[in-house]
Amino acid sequence: MHPSSRDAASSVSPEEIARFGALADKWWDPSGPMRPLHAMNELRISWACRHFPLRGRTSRRVRVLDIGCGAGLASEALARAGHDVLGLDASPNGIAAARTHLENHLLPDGSGPLTYRVGSAEELVAENARFDAVVALEIIEHVTDPERFMHMLADLAEPGGIVIVSTMNRTLKSLAIGKIGAEYLLRLLPVGTHEWRKFITPAELGRYGRSAGLSIQAIAGMVPSLTGWKESRNLDVNYIAAFRKS
């Protein structure tokens, strides 16, 4: 039996938090070190929102946890889509940058409320917090134990709620493109951003989800094109998956 997430060691890697925290003041620069996230953000947010549960018969506004939110790139987009969002990150620098950006760029009318918090998934689990949707974008490949992390995501979802995970597949193609190409050749990402051996195959992610009591609802590849990132059946590098909690 898998250990309870309440008894699990911290999912937070101090090295990863320090690495991304050091980039906090550059997070919102679309030409800076987070430009790949800026490029794919519209696709991953629109895809996630399509798979959120209905609240009642017609309402699409749901309570969303954006875990590992960094400086809030996805959190703001989710709030602009009309959802009630909590952005959570273990990096004080990241959350400070998220709050500063929100103060300087007011959300338009029709947006949902957005709040930020410094903390970990374990803390929310201990508080018995629950959300209609839990979103973990480009984070699971950076945690200390991805299977335990999936259990925590499941714990944080309401029954019938949705868990959205995006990550990178562990293939030779992702090694060439997502690691060597992006970090060393094209310099799209700072060197050391990713550790290829920690990339997660769709089969592994599905197994972690089943172990946590989640059933997969949809999965899609995310690939760059001349007009921006698009949804694809190709899961070789970047992909996104939606799980439902029983």
Q: What is the pLDDT of residues 136-172, one digit of tens each?
A: 999 999 898 999 999 999 999 999 999 999 999 999 9
Cβ distance 80 to 111 under 8 Å?
yes
pLDDT tens, position by position, 64-74: 999 999 999 99
Q: Is 205 annotated as a binding residue?
A: no
- Report, as an integer, the average pLDDT of 16-23: 79
pLDDT for residue 44: 97
Q: Please give the average per-residue pLDDT across 32-59, as a whole number.
A: 86
196 or 98, which is more confident? 98
pLDDT of residue 243: 98
In degrees to the nearest 10, what's the CA dihedral of 100, 102, 103, 105? 120
- pLDDT (tens digit, 9 = 90+) per residue, 102-127? 999 999 999 999 999 999 999 999 99
Q: Is residue 172 annotated as involved in ligand binding? A: no
Own/partner contacts of 213-219, CB < 8 Å, gap of 24 or more, are 213/154, 213/245, 213/246, 214/150, 214/153, 214/154, 214/163, 214/243, 214/244, 214/245, 214/246, 215/243, 215/244, 215/246, 216/241, 216/242, 216/243, 217/51, 217/162, 217/242, 217/243, 217/244, 218/51, 218/242
Q: Establish whether 189 is an annotated binding residue.
A: no
The DSSP code for 236 is: S
Distance from C-alpha of 209 to C-alpha of 60, rounded to nearest angstrom: 24
pTM metric for this prediction:
0.89
Model pLDDT, residue 56: 52
Contact residues for 85 (Cβ-Cβ < 8 A; gap 6+): 64, 65, 66, 75, 78, 79, 112, 113, 114, 115
Average pLDDT, stretch 28-33?
A: 92
Q: Chain centroid to CA 136: how far? A: 3
pLDDT of residue 1: 33
Name all domains of the chain by residue range, CATH numbers in brackets: 5-245 (3.40.50.150)
The pLDDT of residue 59 is: 62
pLDDT at 4 over 50: no
pLDDT at 195: 81
- Residue 137 among known ligand-binding residues: yes
Summary mean pLDDT of the chain: 89
Give the max Cα distance, the chain.
Answer: 50
Best CA proximity match to 112, nearest among 162, 60, 41: 60
Instruction: Give the mean model confidence (pLDDT) for residues 210-229.
Output: 96
pLDDT tens digit sequence for 79-88: 999 999 999 9
Query: Which tops the pLDDT comparison, 5 or 199?
Result: 199
Which pLDDT band holds residue 28 (cuts at 50, 70, 90)?
very high
